[in-house]
Structure 1
Amino acid sequence: MESGHTSNELHLEKRDVVDLELNRVHSAHLINNVVHDFSWKNLNVKVKDRKTMKPLSILTDSNGFVEAGEMIAIMGPSGSGKTTLLNALAHREAAAGATTNGDIMANGQQMSLKKIRQLSSYVEQEDALIGSLTVRETMMFAAGLGLSSKISKRDRQVRIDDLIASFGLQDQAHTIVGTPIKKGLSGGQKKRLGVASRLVTDPKILFLDEPTSGLDSTLSFEVMNFIRTIAKRNKLIVVASIHQPSSSTFKLFDKLCLLSKGKMCYFGPLPEAHGYFQSIGYPMPPETNPAEFYLDLINTDLAKAGDEVFERIGQITQAWSENSQNQRLIEEIDIISRRVEDTDRDLSKFKVEMPAPWVVPMVLLQRSWIKSYRDIVTYGIRVIMYLGLAILMGTVFLRLKSNQEYIQPFINSIFFGSAFISFMAVAYVPAFLEDRATFAKERANGLVGPFAFVISNFIIGLPFLFLISALFSLVTYFLSNFRMNGNAFFMYTMWLFLDLLAAESLVVLVSAIFPVFVVSLAVTAFANGLWMCVDGFLVPMNILNPFWKYVFHYIDYQSYVFQGMMVNQFKASTYTCDSTGSGYHCSYPSDLNSEGKIDGKDVLSAFSISPGKENEWIGIMLAIIAVYRVFGYVVFHFKKN
């Protein structure tokens, strides 16, 4: 018997209680029986061997057949091809650079990527749940992304309520999923919610990648039992990769697909596996967890070259390929494929009503809005960070005066405000990568496209970035004593807003290309460092190296912000020179030097900045922002993960 596991009797007693509760739930609004069976034949996946550069098979001649209402467990040791097979069946990239060949069918008909997305949902090992949403909100937004706009609000709500009840989440309906800062659901509840949020879109086939990972035996049983009950009642096909389940969880499955080194070791009804392995000379000892026995039999993790385990696995895979049970499986798949003409099995007539094109961006906007104000990591921390930066800047450059000795501090303050507010936009990287991961998983299920994601992401950021710019301006502008003019204040705020918008757009583009936190952070920081170097402050334009000037300066959004803010401060300002015994000492040549003053326009001339081009600079800033966002969309369009 396995140690540390709850007894089967207790599990079965718990299952009875759960089933009684589920029977009270009205499920007419759940899944209709459209797919009668799901099968695959001679499925092969090959990659290029890194050493020899020749094709290497990582999945060989896999066959399988599952009927509606059945759950199949794909099992095997690490590296056996479980996830490869699952991804291949779901028409996902089986492995990096892999080529997949073979037949994948539902009701005996070949499945295209479009059709499999219409018929199925895929629940990944790492859930795509948004931590700041409640259980009900998660279900509501999942329904909004996947259900037809023709379904009434009442029917949609009934479906959501049914699934929440079916998965035992009634008491947690208004509980948030959980963030690093605020605790929410338990691990088992998150797993159940992840599956429920996929079922709300009415899939006929459910793919589960390691649905019990990170859960103890009790929670694993609980999650799989809920799924099993839903599958049986609604004739749902469940295909799950699973690693070393407890005996009670293992017995919930109807069929077993056993793999080792990408080759089939067994496929068939779970109860018959014991007799099959006994027939080929591998009887299972009494009081043994069957799952552990099968995995130990074909596990090569600790084996060394020449060990008998490799010979044993070779015998097992060879025995299965020659076994009559395998031949009957292939014949059964062939028979099913010849029944395509049956009207009730013709999936070409099955059409899935999707939401209207304008609905998905609206759902994403609403979801992002809730996340933005509720999750402090998204914008809350950035607001606090920028306020701290504003107080720092305002108190360092405190109450600057109109004497010439304050001209350079004014310029330094302008550079600091424009450069560092954009540099600190790197704080948006983790929040965007979380959104990107959610998008990638929803896109793989055919729910969200790159255009809707990019548009909603851009729009939702506008009010928060403007709020940050306004708060920053309110603190720094008056503390530093910039030009006291209402129009000048609003122009200062506008330049900061465009600066932040361009910086965040850069984050989106870089994170789209490099979806790894450290890499994205480093590249974004490097880019902003480059823009700081060539924006015209550290090295004035008239002496800037031509390479940096003509290659980078004119596409540097920070340069236009710096110029715009310089004009905003100096175009209508004058500064007094130092008085000496013989006259005046002025640090900038100006027509007003004889009067002991410096015209602010002459300060601009020293930096090769010409007033009157503000509208042109605003247009260029908007173009840069648009280019970043369009390039981000292009990356998402062509990059599938």
Structure 2
Amino acid sequence: MDSLDVEKSGSDYAPLTNHTVRSFSWENVTVSVKDRHTKQPLELLSNVNGIVKAGELMAIMGPSGSGKTTLLNVLAHREATPKATVSQTLSINGVPTTLKDFQKLSSYVEQQDALVGSLTVRETLYFAAKLSLPSSVTKSERISRINSLIAAFGLQGQAEALIGTPIRKGISGGQTRRVSVASQLITSPKILFLDEPTSGLDSAASFEVINFVRDVAKRHKILVIASIHQPSTTTFELFDKLFLLSRGKVAYNGPITGVKNYFGNLGFNMPLYMNPAEYIIQLVNTDFSRDAARSAEQLQMLQTAWTQHEAANPPPQNTPNDGPPLDAELLSDHGSANPFLIPLTLIHRSFIKSYRDVVAYGIRIAMYMGLAIMMGTVWLRLDTDQSNINAFTNAIFFGGAFMSFMAVAYIPAFLEDRHLFIKERHNGLYGPTAFMLANFIIGIPYLFLIAVLFSLIAYWLGNFQPTAQAFWTWVMWLFLDLLAAESLVVLLSSLVPIFVIALAATAFANGLWMSVNGFMVQPETLNVFWRYVFHYIDYQAYVFRGMMVNEFGKRSYGCGSDCRCMYSSELEDVCRIDGRAVLQSYGYGTGEMGKYVGIMIGIVVGYRVLGWVVLYLKKH
């Protein structure tokens, strides 16, 4: 990869542009949902106002359920919460902006680190740069930014280390959070949102992460807004401003240095040696109070006091001296990558993951090889005698059905990819088309390899029709079977992105396809409902048909020593059975293979298109 062969240049993070976003403000932010019990509007946020200026770090704090994440999502132009009614005015340099412009100037770091664990730190930043930097940025500039960010965040010693997977240990939690932040700074955003950046970290790692962010923000005038639960004293003091929420209303919005005096003047003197963040959270938290009425009264007093405070009603920020709010040069410096090259970048990233992360395809290959050995030794060297016709038929059903059923092993890898896609889509990098295209293309060589390796073992051990044409026809049907099965996994996992539910749904679907594919009950005698509603869209039905035709279409079987043939055919006079007689009992002909291959391709494309529709409609 080209970014790995260059010496490190520089240790200081350098922005792409000197143009500055001077302020980001929000007015009258109100979010309401329908209460499930009363069916009346319930306000999650009520007339919230605030402003952050260039180079400042603001901490959004409050007890659980206070509206921190909801506010952060509104400020970042994201969905506040499902089925919510949102009213707000968001402005950059005093002027409202469009979502497209806002995405060019901002980045969002999720609470959960959505990173590819099988990539190194340097590779993670490399792909972040390839996906987000405009085409006007040269290769040398991109490499310089990567090296500068690695140095700025103190990751030189971990640059070639893996992020880490469940199987392979990687960098520490604090270092992972730094990589997450660094990957979002690759585009020189003017506004950076952090959702619980210290979640899961100890106090030392928390301080480390926020300190790095503060250093970069101060030097390059980046606005940082972070929701944070309960930081240590040292971490709390790194922020410039505190935005304190409780039950959707503001209890304080001002400098960190003024917190002690503000609450002291209200009669709430902060105890000596106590963590100020912990103390103020206790003041506005009514969830665990023994005297609920008194706590509610205290909270209302704090909210009213802030409403009447002069800092709660600042003069308008958009003055005539502000100048043009968002000039063309500022937005052009924050363009997007070439959309035609994004799928290639995603394929490149997925390829590295696919051969390093054994969960993606390595474990599946091992599972399929185990299945091939089991199948080949159970149906070992079957003779071409009529007593083995059922055994051949059972083997064909088992091979196709269980190969597709075992595609459930792909669910964890796809859910990880989907999580990363959702994060990058929210940041405006690419949409479901590029993701779905790259996901499909990267799977093709691996699924073909699985089909070939499985067939090399199971086909020849089982003594299926011993010709090269028949072997490769078998491989083709198995390959189409795996393509359809994996496409079904993509559709169901996109629809319900929860591992246990996706697993259950995929298993149920495969059980349904097994039942109606024509083996359990022959198509002609299948119940009309199952036949016309499900059989003709069952990809396993076409795989079973194709493999049956491949085995029995050009083969004959002996009728035994007593010459009593199980199937009547033209070869009965010579004590043999024409395999086409077996096909006739299932209602299968020997022609139209191209038609059924086309139907299989249509099913694969249909699953993928439906998966695309689900991803397009689902924003989270």
TM-score using structure 2 length = 0.97
- 8 Å CA contact 2:245–2:252 kept in 1: the answer is yes
Amino acid at match of 1:586: C
- 8 Å CA contact 1:589–1:602 kept in 2: the answer is yes
Match of 1:508 among 449, 471, 490: 490
Match of 2:89 among 100, 103, 116: 103
Q: Superposed, which structure 2 residues align to 1:427-446 within 5 Å?
A: 427-446=409-428
Match of 1:461 among 426, 431, 443: 443
State the secondary structure of the residue aligned to 1:266. strand
Distance 1:258 1:409 in 2: 71
Matched, 1:591 2:577: no
Q: CA deviation at 1:278?
A: 1.5
Amino acid at match of 1:350: L
Distance 1:29 1:298 in 2: 39
Name 1:561's counterpart in structure 2.
543
- 8 Å CA contact 1:59–1:85 kept in 2: the answer is yes
Flag the 1:61–1:415 CA change in 2: closer, same or farther, 3 A: same
Flag the 1:130–1:399 CA change in 2: closer, same or farther, 3 A: same
Q: CA deviation at 1:27?
A: 3.2
State the secondary structure of the residue aligned to 1:423. helix
Matched, 1:120 2:101: no
Flag the 1:528–1:184 CA change in 2: closer, same or farther, 3 A: same
Q: CA deviation at 1:542?
A: 1.8
Name 1:12's counterpart in structure 2.
none
Name 1:600's counterpart in structure 2.
579
Name 2:345's counterpart in structure 1.
363
Distance 1:231 1:244 in 2: 22
State the secondary structure of the residue aligned to 1:74. strand
Q: Deviations over 1:462-499 (max 9, x none)?
A: 00000000000000010000111001000000000000
- 8 Å CA contact 1:426–1:525 kept in 2: the answer is yes
Q: Superposed, which structure 2 residues align to 1:480-629 within 5 Å?
A: 480-580=462-562, 584-629=563-608
- 8 Å CA contact 2:286–2:292 kept in 1: the answer is no
Distance 2:608 2:28 in 1: 43
Matched, 1:408 2:387: no
Name 2:615's counterpart in structure 1.
636
Amino acid at match of 1:227: V
Q: CA deviation at 1:517?
A: 0.7
TM-score using structure 1 length = 0.93
Q: CA deviation at 1:28?
A: 3.2
Distance 1:107 1:232 in 2: 18
Q: Superposed, which structure 2 residues align to 1:33-48 within 5 Å?
A: 33-48=19-34
Matched, 1:337 2:318: yes
Matched, 1:470 2:452: yes
State the secondary structure of the residue aligned to 1:585. coil
Q: CA deviation at 1:594?
A: 2.2
State the secondary structure of the residue aligned to 1:578. coil
Q: CA deviation at 1:341?
A: 6.8
Question: Can you give the 5+ residue segments of structure 2 that lack an aligned partner in the other structure?
Answer: 1-9
Match of 1:302 among 288, 292, 298: 288
Question: Can you give the 5+ residue segments of structure 1 that lack an aligned partner in the other structure?
Answer: 1-23
State the secondary structure of the residue aligned to 1:598. strand
Q: CA deviation at 1:111?
A: 2.6
Name 2:141's counterpart in structure 1.
155
Name 2:72's counterpart in structure 1.
86
Distance 1:36 1:533 in 2: 64
Q: CA deviation at 1:343?
A: 3.0
Name 2:331's counterpart in structure 1.
350
- 8 Å CA contact 2:124–2:183 kept in 1: the answer is yes
Answer with 345-354 or 112-121: which moved more: 345-354
Name 1:177's counterpart in structure 2.
163
Q: Superposed, which structure 2 residues align to 1:19-418 within 5 Å?
A: 25-29=11-15, 32-303=18-289, 306-328=292-314, 331=315, 334=316, 336-339=317-320, 342-343=323-324, 346=327, 350-351=331-332, 352-418=334-400
Q: CA deviation at 1:277?
A: 1.1
Name 1:20's counterpart in structure 2.
none
Q: Deviations over 1:109-163 (max 9, x none)?
A: 1132222211110001101111000000000000011001221110000000000
Distance 2:249 2:290 in 1: 19
Answer with 102-111 or 226-235: which moved more: 102-111
Amino acid at match of 2:351: W
Distance 1:347 1:116 in 2: 13
State the secondary structure of the residue aligned to 2:479. helix
State the secondary structure of the residue aligned to 2:87. strand
Distance 1:557 1:339 in 2: 66
- 8 Å CA contact 1:107–1:346 kept in 2: the answer is no
Q: CA deviation at 1:339?
A: 3.7
Distance 1:231 1:286 in 2: 31
Distance 1:403 1:460 in 2: 42
Q: CA deviation at 1:349?
A: 6.6
Distance 1:499 1:358 in 2: 30
- 8 Å CA contact 1:33–1:235 kept in 2: the answer is no
Distance 1:559 1:28 in 2: 59
Q: CA deviation at 1:591?
A: 2.1
State the secondary structure of the residue aligned to 1:52. coil
Distance 1:341 1:283 in 2: 39
Distance 2:236 2:433 in 1: 42
Q: CA deviation at 1:541?
A: 1.4
Distance 1:397 1:304 in 2: 71
Q: CA deviation at 1:274?
A: 1.4
Flag the 1:341–1:188 CA change in 2: closer, same or farther, 3 A: closer
Name 1:21's counterpart in structure 2.
none
- 8 Å CA contact 1:31–1:203 kept in 2: the answer is no
Distance 2:121 2:397 in 1: 46
Name 1:4's counterpart in structure 2.
none
Distance 1:622 1:183 in 2: 40
- 8 Å CA contact 1:340–1:346 kept in 2: the answer is no
- 8 Å CA contact 1:108–1:340 kept in 2: the answer is no
State the secondary structure of the residue aligned to 2:170. coil
Amino acid at match of 1:137: E
Flag the 1:127–1:464 CA change in 2: closer, same or farther, 3 A: same
Q: CA deviation at 1:344?
A: 6.3
